[in-house]
Structures are given as C-alpha cells and as structure tokens.
C-alpha cells in the first residue's frame, strides 16, 4: 500500500465539503439536496464512481465550481468519495442536509481552509484515510480573540 497526500486546489474564498457515499445516484441526490435547502447557493459537485466504468460524475449550477470539483475528484480518485465546492453560502447552511442524504456514509470535512487529503492506494483502488484541514494551532484565545470571534459570527448573521 502506498500513502500519498493530495492537496485540494481551490480559491481561498471557496468552501468545500468532502465526504464518502455508496451509490451512483449520489451526485443527483446531493444536487437536489443543495437546491432545496439553499436555492441561491452556487455549487459544483463531483463523485468518484467505484465500480463499472469508474468515472468521475459531476453536476452543479456553476460551471467553474463544477469544473473545480471534477478536477479535484479526479486528483483524489478515491472510490465513492464526493467533493462539493460552494459560494454564496457556507457549509453550515447545507451540512445537515448533506448528512441526511441516504447514501452519504461520512463527512471528512467542511472547510474553506487549505485542505490536504491523506490517500491510501492499494494498487486496485484508493481510499481517504483522513484530512489535514488548515494550519496547526498557534496558541489559546484571549478575551480579545473571543470578542473578535463573536463579532465575526454576528457579521455572518449566525449570532444576534
């Protein structure tokens, strides 16, 4: 088995969700789930099929985000994994909906941070072992850091 690190390529302001599912209709069901939950969100989804033709399946309502999803999914090439890129919304707006899609097995991360994916390659297939989401901690927050965090949450509309 060979371990590799795949860096997810994306603009800094774009959020993504990386997960695993178990069925070919995942890409359509994820698309429907996002549109029904946050209709104005722009997104692209790609899904790595794990059997048969083993293709990267994709959909979305934004051509650039969909192309970005396809490119990163192909770089991962991990069976039954999916990646969603989004703008005009945040993962928190759709994460519970994504988790409730029947074929979704796991969510590895939901982030706008730099993202690296630890991939195992057996020679027959590839799988995601885990992710490195962002950078390592620099310390413990102070009272001014708490105030700044709360102000940011209010700016985004998540707290009153």
Domain ranges (residues) in the chain: 2-155
Which phi and psi angles does 3 have, rounded to 5°?
-100, 135
Cα angle 23, 130, 137; round to 5: 140
The separation between the first and the last C-alpha atoms of the chain, rounded to the nearest angstrom, is: 50
Cα angle 60, 72, 156; round to 5: 60
CATH: 3.40.640.10, 3.30.70.260, 3.40.1520.10, 3.40.50.300. Which one for 2-155? 3.40.1520.10
Report the alpha-carbon distance of residue 112 to residue 101 in Å, rounded: 22
Per-residue pLDDT of the chain (160 residues), as tens digits, is 999 999 999 999 999 999 999 988 999 999 999 999 999 999 999 999 999 999 999 999 999 999 999 999 999 999 999 999 999 999 999 999 999 999 999 999 999 999 999 999 999 999 999 999 999 999 999 999 999 999 988 988 877 7
DSSP-H helix ranges across the chain: 26-37, 63-76, 91-99, 143-155
Report the alpha-carbon distance of residue 50 to residue 23 in Å, rounded: 9
72: tokens are 């990163």
Report the alpha-carbon distance of residue 4 to residue 61 in Å, rounded: 31
Other Cβ atoms within 10 Å of 143 Cβ, number: 7
Contact 118, 8 (CB under 8 A): no
pLDDT (0 to 100) of residue 35: 97
pLDDT (0 to 100) of residue 155: 87
3: tokens are 């371990």
**pTM, entire model:** 0.92
pLDDT (0 to 100) of residue 156: 82
3-class SS of residue 33:
helix
């Amino acid at each position: 088995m060979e371990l590799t690190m795949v860096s997810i390529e994306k603009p800094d302001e774009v959020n993504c969700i990386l997960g695993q599912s178990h069925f070919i209709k995942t890409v359509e069901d994820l698309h429907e789930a996002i549109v029904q939950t946050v209709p104005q969100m722009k997104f692209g989804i790609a899904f790595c099929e794990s059997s048969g033709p083993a293709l990267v399946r994709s959909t979305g309502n934004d051509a650039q985000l969909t192309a970005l999803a396809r490119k990163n999914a192909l770089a991962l090439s991990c069976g039954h994994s999916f990646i969603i890129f989004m703008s005009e919304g945040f993962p928190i707006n759709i994460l519970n909906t994504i988790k409730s899609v029947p074929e979704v097995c796991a969510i590895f991360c939901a982030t706008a941070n730099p993202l690296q994916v630890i991939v195992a390659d057996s020679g027959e297939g590839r799988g995601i072992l885990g992710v490195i989401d962002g950078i390592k901690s620099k310390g413990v927050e102070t009272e001014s850091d708490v105030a700044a965090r709360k102000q940011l949450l209010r700016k985004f509309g998540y707290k009153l």
